Amino acid sequence: MRRLPVLLVLAAFAALLIYAEGDLPDRGDVQAPANQHVSAYYIQHAEEEVETPNIVSGVLADYRGYDTLGETVVIFAAGMASLLILTRGGHR
């Protein structure tokens, strides 16, 4: 009975996420706003501004450098937390 409020909150949150998903553009939609402006800018200007022939590396390292750093920190923290949890009871 103590879990019922938690389950209700989780069900409401899941319903909200499912409802909000309907407003997202389809995956790979070339008419999506991000594909109309941002992608075109990266493709046209990456070689001159970043000075690298590889557009993917230029976008990840230059245009979205802080975002990539943040993602790396989150993945590292998750790995360290998993390692800590998994090895916690092993050494007695």
**Residue carrying structure tokens 């992608």:** 39
Q: Average model confidence (pLDDT) for the chain?
A: 87
pLDDT in tens, 18-47: 999 998 888 888 888 877 888 888 888 888
Q: Which amino acid is at 14?
A: A
Total structural domains within the chain: 1
What is the predicted pLDDT for the residue at 47? 85
Contacts of 53 (CB under 8 A, 6+ apart): 47
Domain range enclosing 14: 2-89
What is the predicted pLDDT for the residue at 80? 96
Q: Which amino acid is at 62?
A: D
pTM (two decimals): 0.49
